[in-house]
Structure 1
Amino acid sequence: MMSWGASQFKSPALWVFLTAFVAAIIVGVRTPPTWTVEQTPLTVETDDLGSQFVVLGGEQVDVDTAIPLADSPLTVDKLSALHREGGMPKSVEQFVYEQPQAGGDQGKQYFQQFAYRHWGFWSFLPALTAIVLCWMTKEPISALLAGIVVGAMLIGEFNVLGGVLIPSIGTKTAATILVLYLWLLGGLMGVWAKTGASEAFADYMAAHFVRGPRSAKLVAWMLGVIFFQGGSISAVLVGTTVRPLADEENVSHEELSLIVDATSSPIAILLAFNAWPIYVQAFMGVIGVSYLATETDRVAFFFRAIPLSFYAIFSVLFTLLIALDKHPLLPKKLKAARQRARETGQLNAPTAEPLAGDDPGYKFVPAGYAPNILDFVLPLITLLTVAVGTYYLYGSPEVLWAFGTALVLAAIMAWLKGMNLRQIITAILDGQKGVILGSVILLLAITIGQLSQDVGGGRYLVSLLGALQWHWLLPGTAFLIAVVIAFSTGTSWATFAVTLPLVLPLAHAVAINQNLAHPELFMSICFAACLNGGVFGDQCSPISDTTILSSMCTGADLMDHVTTQIPVAMQAAFLALVGWTAIAYFGV
């Protein structure tokens, strides 16, 4: 007979989940959401055949498909009535036009309508549940699943599998995660382990450049700067490249994962020759602001604001000081991790549960196979060449092509040097096994991020900005709002989509109403604060893809990485807040 231990029901984590679960059901049933509807003006263009179109989501859409604004189902009254009847709009986006009173096609104005909802403070419940349980249990899968269940209850979707998980996992984003990180990244790591390529690189670097833990960490920092594409790309490339080298020099995985994470997105907004400006500029338009009128103007504004990215600057600088063992205010836990690794050789804490297994190294290399640094360098150069080359050719890096080409090249090189097909396939499968846990966590993180956006916590937070009375408080407040949104959703790019379209018009209005002497500088400060807030929150969030990948690729425990990184990031954030507030107070 099965017996149930009473101690299971005394678990604080269980009661946190049950409380959030019940609260979500009650709020979802009894509290109607607050709906807001926004309109984005669209520019009508004419093709070579004389047909008129607008650009929606990067695609040309014929103007004849627009519906009259009066017929749109996306109005606050209609949406509220639909919710009272237990329904939901078929789409939260609509292409509409408004006909002036005088009539005539020439006077039509076209808009893209968006409908958003939120439940006020309760909108943070799904993400808050996941984050709190991550801290309490140090078990991210159950914590993320708990947050997803709570979010589903809040929106009234009781079929969690069919209504939430399956639609999220069935998206292009989720498929890309599986192909890139599970198949291609895992396979490449497996081939490198089977050929001894990563250890051959480590041996070469150790013989020519590395003289101890400091120089090993410095190599990691420099690679983070070189791989300036940012985000998950940088985390994967730097983590997989430097881990064998750092392990040889007894660099703790807490330190290594911090260096990898803190030189990913922060570098991407400082050396912004990547996809970031093109993506971000789409949310920067403000009616009546000439220097934000066109895409070229907005990209130029992005680059002019780079010197104001104080958080990113201090984050990269502090990471360099940590690599050089010169940081004057090293947090206690990070200092203990450094001492443990150097004195005992234990790269992780005794209680750690790394997201990826140990690097196999030479022990799986077949007899008679001679590892060579070219087994590592040539696929890596190919990966970077394809990623950077496709960015300059097409405007964004084709990461799948890059990793796929690198994997094929690594496999062909192994075959030409004598490894048989069965050994290569086994190596790929072994490498994929090592990243299964991280891939599952990434898929769940995507799901809860989408849920967090759907329940509208970000827009509720940004709406509170309107109560500010002093202009010099706006940059710091915008930064903190962006931090909360990014930390809760685990994504900086979605945070930009929420904050920038609301904060920049507000900053412009404040600059005009308070007659500031330098309105463009004030706009730049607020823009940089939003941008850096998204990066800070994403970097520190335990449900962020870059946080998870930095842990996975360096062999660190996820929560050990989070808890050692946050104090350093907060030091950089504090100095950034002081800088933005001082310039806003004295300089505009």
Structure 2
Amino acid sequence: MVEFGAASLIPPVLAIALAIVTRKAVLSLFLGIWSGGVIQAGGPTLLGDPVGWVSGVVAAGFGFFPAFDWIIAAIAGEFHATIIVFTLLLGSGVAMVWNLGGSYAIRDWALKRLTTQRKAGVSIAVLGVILFFDDYANTAIVGSSMKDVSDRLRISREKLSYLVDSTAAPVATLGISSWVAFQLSLISDGYEAAGVSDHPPVFEVFVNSIPFNMYAILAIVMVFVIVLSGRDYGEMLTAEHRSWSTGKVNREEARPMQDVAAELGDPSAANPRLINFFGPVAVLIVVTLIGALWTGGFTLGGFLADPTGALWDGVTNAAYDKALLYGSFAMVVTGFVLGKVYGIFGLGEATDTTIDGFGIMLTAVSILSLAWGIGEVVSALGTGEYVAGVAEGVVNPAILPALVLVIAAFMAFSTGTSWGTMGILTPIVIPVAWSITGGGAAGHTLVAVMVGTIFSGSIFGDHTSPISDTTVLSATFTGADLIDHVRTQLYYAGTVGIVAIVLLLVWGYVGISPLVLLPIGAVVLVGLVYGLSEFDARRRGISPIAANTPREDVEEMDADADAGAE
């Protein structure tokens, strides 16, 4: 493999920088991929052989030939192709719920109970925690179901997408989910790479690693601190004041990843029913869970013989991408049935709704495809291996956990893939941890610490990257502008990340148990939210709490605004 060194960082860093500066995600991602094509075509010989470098670039169509090859390879992969179809079908499911009047029904039902932004925020966070089995399904269900409610309470789309994103991957990495199944395989691979055959069960190592997955745990804590306090700072404070004072849940120039009302018009149903919302969503969840167990080899006979073992094998061996595909298709079929049963629309209109639903997901699919294309670029140029290799020589056990978190965060940020980061780092870091401790009980302890910090850093980088698939999907299902979502979430993710790094350094040098450090970290987060929100608000001359008033006051403001418009 050709070594491109530091040049391998250019494509992802360029794509991310352009996306944040220009707010044009598609163009930025494509230029990042194209720059990778130029780098690969010319090779690492610019200074030594400039003529050969130029001829190589020209022969590769000025870098466009490999760029399109990478994009096609990203789409053609079975997992990515399945996720694209799942996303399109989910768009159709959302369109079905909309045209059945389900969105209006859930909005009216929830507004009778969720009368303040605090109550709505807590409900969103709790839903995110409950739907722990997959981050994609989590963002789709919570984002789609709570969007209309949050709009009516004047919660900005940036805030909604933050709440959804920060209770998706962090929750999935801590419970029984598609993430954990992947993580268990990585732990096994890491021990194999270290040449250690006599080790604790990988699930035991995973459980021991959970307290060191500090970013994921504290990110969830941060969500509840934000919604319960009602306080914001950074660009989120700007977004919340805009939304509350003007009713504009998105920025004026924003480009929402999904705008159901604009794409589909008014719903067909005159009398919205709750079944038209809860029915399709329940089918999505149930079929996805059943599909996961089925693809994992679960059988009734096996369950009767060994209930715990059968369930565990079904969960850990499941093909969650296919399960999500089955669930989203079943959601669409449920829409067909409900439309016919209640006389809302016939077969022809239901088919049109299905196709229209594809349309509301085209932006998301485009960005996902290009983000995966960047993944192909960094794989071809060896970006992950370069970053890991640069840091591999730093082996001080005291700073190693914090260092690994930072490296994982940078890799996930620059590559857009937390799973890819975990896959690259785990087989490298576990042997390092085993080697510097000399093995034994100390070795197994540090291995668990490394596993937790790799997972932690990967999610941290994922939350701050505009080329991450979960970031894209969170913005999609909440109808937020992707770059606005990243820019506002960056302040909160950065705060949690810094606290997690400091706690790991304390553990490394002082040896305080993470079970003691985590509550301290939670208290520190509360103090930081209050302190930073007060400082930022005072600096701007505004309130640190954009709003936390009863729904009746919101309706009065809406009525006054409507009267003024007339």
* TM-score when normalising by structure 1: 0.75
State the distance in 2 between where 1:577 and 1:378 align. 44
Greater fraction helix: 2
Do the aligned residues in 2 keep the contact of 1:187 with 1:432 (CA within 8 Å)?
yes
Could you say which residue in structure 2 is the equivalent of 1:194? 99
**Paired residues for 1:301-380 under 5 Å:** 301-327=205-231, 330-359=232-261, 364-366=266-268, 369-380=270-281
In structure 2, distance between residues paired with 1:340 and 1:120: 44
Q: Is the 8 A contact 1:196 1:361 kept in 2?
A: no
> Is the 8 Å Cα contact of residues 101 and 268 (structure 2) preserved in structure 1?
no
Specify the SS of the correspondent of 1:228: coil
User: RMSD in angstroms over aligned alpha carbons?
Assistant: 2.3
1:254 Cα deviation from its structure 2 partner: 0.7
Structure-to-structure mapping, 1:383-402, within 5 angstroms: 383-393=284-294, 394=296, 395-396=317-318, 397=320, 398-402=323-327
Asked whether the 8 Å contact 2:466–2:472 carries over to 1, the reply is yes
The equivalent residue for 1:545 is 469
1:168 is aligned to 2:74: yes
* Alignment partner, residue 405 of structure 1: 330
Q: Is residue 117–residue 155 contact of structure 2 (8 Å, CA) maintained in 1? A: yes
CA shift in 2, pair 1:380/1:359, >3 Å: same
Q: Which residue does 2:133 correspond to in 1?
A: 229
Asked if the contact 1:490/1:544 (under 8 Å) is kept, the reply is yes
- Aligned residues of 2:99 and 2:268 also touching (Cα < 8 A): yes
Amino acid in the other structure paired with 2:213: S
Q: Map of 1:452-463 to 2, 5 A cutoff?
A: 452-463=378-389
Deviations 1:104-143 (A, max 9, x none): xxxxxxxxxxxxx541111111111111111221101111
Choose from 334, 350, 357 the match for 1:424: 350
- Decide which of 208, 211, 224 is 2:115's aligned counterpart: 211
Shift of 1:430: 2.5
> The residue matched to 2:501 in structure 1 has which SS?
helix
Look up the equivalent residue of 1:195 and give its one-letter code: L
Distance, in Å, in 2 between the alignment partners of 1:417 and 1:240 is 23
Q: Check whether the contact 2:209–2:448 (CA below 8 A) recurs between aligned residues.
A: yes
Amino acid across the alignment from 1:347:
V
Q: Is the 8 Å Cα contact of residues 172 and 180 (structure 2) preserved in structure 1?
A: no
2:4 to 104, 107, 119: 119
Q: Retained in 1: the 8 A contact 2:71–2:369?
A: no
Find the residue that maps to 1:467 and give its secondary structure. coil
The unaligned stretches of length 5 or more in structure 1 are 1-34, 36-116
Which residue in the other structure is 1:267 paired with? 171
| Matched position secondary structure for 1:251 | coil
Hey, what's the Cα distance between the residues in 1 that align with 2:424 and 2:256? 33
What is aligned with 1:52? none
The offset of 1:293, in angstroms, is: 4.7
On the 8 A contact 1:252/1:347 being kept in 2, the answer is yes
Residues 520-575 of structure 1, C-alpha deviation per residue, up to 9 Å, x if partnerless? 33222222111111111112110111111111111111111101101101111111
- Structure with the largest fraction of strand: 1
Closer, same or farther: CA 361–245 of 1 in aligned 2, 3 Å? farther
Deviation at residue 161 of structure 1 after TM alignment:
5.9
- Tell me what 2:37 maps to: 152
Residues 5-52 of structure 1 show CA distances to partners (whole Å, capped at 9, x for unaligned) of xxxxxxxxxxxxxxxxxxxxxxxxxxxxxx4xxxxxxxxxxxxxxxxx
**In structure 2, C-alpha distance between the alignment counterparts of 1:360 and 1:235, rounded to whole Å:** 21
- Post-superposition offset of 1:401: 0.5
Counterpart in the other structure of 1:495: 421
Preserved CA contact (<8 Å) 2:71 2:372: no
Go from structure 1 to structure 2 and tell me whether the alpha carbon gap of 1:457 and 1:424 turns closer, same or farther (over 3 Å shift). Answer: same
- 1:362 CA drift (Å): 10
Q: Is the 8 A contact 1:198 1:241 kept in 2?
A: yes
Shift of the 475–409 alpha-carbon distance from structure 1 to 2, 3 Å rule, reads same
Q: Which residue matches 1:139?
A: 24
1:246 to 139, 150, 155: 150
Distance in 2 (alpha carbons) for counterparts of 1:286 and 1:366: 57
Partner residue in 1 for 2:544? none
Instruction: Give the percent of matched residue pairs that are identical in Structure 1 and Structure 2.
Output: 28
Distance 1:234 1:301 in 2: 26
Q: Does 1:560 align with 2:484?
A: yes
For the Cα contact (< 8 Å) 1:126–1:448, is it kept in 2? Answer: yes
* Residues 338 and 417 (structure 1), Cα distance of their counterparts in 2 relative to 1, 3 Å cut: same
Q: Using the TM superposition, give the Cα deviation of residue 326 of structure 1 relative to its aligned residue in structure 2, in angstroms.
A: 4.5
Of 536, 546, 556, 2:460 maps to: 536
Given that 1:198 and 1:361 are in contact with CA atoms closer than 8 Å, whether structure 2 keeps it comes out as no
The one-character-per-residue Cα deviations of 1:57-90 (angstroms, maximum 9, x if unpaired) are xxxxxxxxxxxxxxxxxxxxxxxxxxxxxxxxxx
Q: 2 CA distance for matches of 1:179 and 1:332?
A: 36
Q: In 2 relative to 1, CA 517–227 (structure 1 residues): closer, same or farther, beyond 3 Å?
A: closer
Q: Which amino acid aligns with 2:83?
A: I
| Whole-Å separation in 1 of the counterparts to 2:157 and 2:87 | 20
TM-superposed deviation, 1:210: 0.4
Instruction: Name which one, 1 or 2, has greater alpha-carbon Rg.
Output: 1
Distance in 2 separating the partners of 1:361 and 1:343: 26
Query: Is 1:277 paired with 2:168?
Result: no
Deviations 1:395-423 (A, max 9, x none): 32311001111110122111111111222
1:220 & 1:557 partners in 2: Cα distance?
A: 19
Query: By how many angstroms is 1:162 displaced?
Result: 5.4
8 Å contact from structure 1 (residues 118, 459) kept in 2? no
Which structure is richer in relative contact order (CA contacts within 8 A, separation 6 or more)?
2
CA distance in 2, matches of 1:586, 1:318: 25
Is 1:523 matched up with 2:452? no
Q: Does 1:468 align with 2:369?
A: no
Compared with structure 1, are the counterparts of its residues 195 and 404 closer, same or farther at alpha carbon in structure 2 (3 Å cutoff)? same
Counterparts of 1:128 and 1:466, CA distance in 2: 21
Instruction: State the SS of the aligned residue for 1:242.
Output: helix
Distance of 2:362 and 2:31 partners within structure 1:
20
> Which amino acid in 2 is paired with 1:168?
A
Instruction: Show CA shifts across 1:325-370 (max 9, x none).
Output: 345xx32211121122122111011221111125469962336x42
Q: Give the equivalent residue in structure 1 for 2:305.
A: none
Q: Is the 8 A contact 1:195 1:365 kept in 2?
A: yes
Cα deviations by residue, 1:144-203 (Å, 9 ceiling, x for unpaired): 110111112222254246533333322223422331112x01111111111111121121
Q: 2: distance between equivalents of 1:362 and 1:452?
A: 38
Look up the SS of the partner of 2:467 in the other structure.
coil
How many residue pairs get aligned? The number is: 464
What whole-Å deviation, never above 9, does each CA across 1:198-249 have from its counterpart, x for those lacking one? Answer: 1211211222x30121111111111110111233221112111111111111
Q: Specify the code of the residue in structure 2 equivalent to 1:179.
A: V
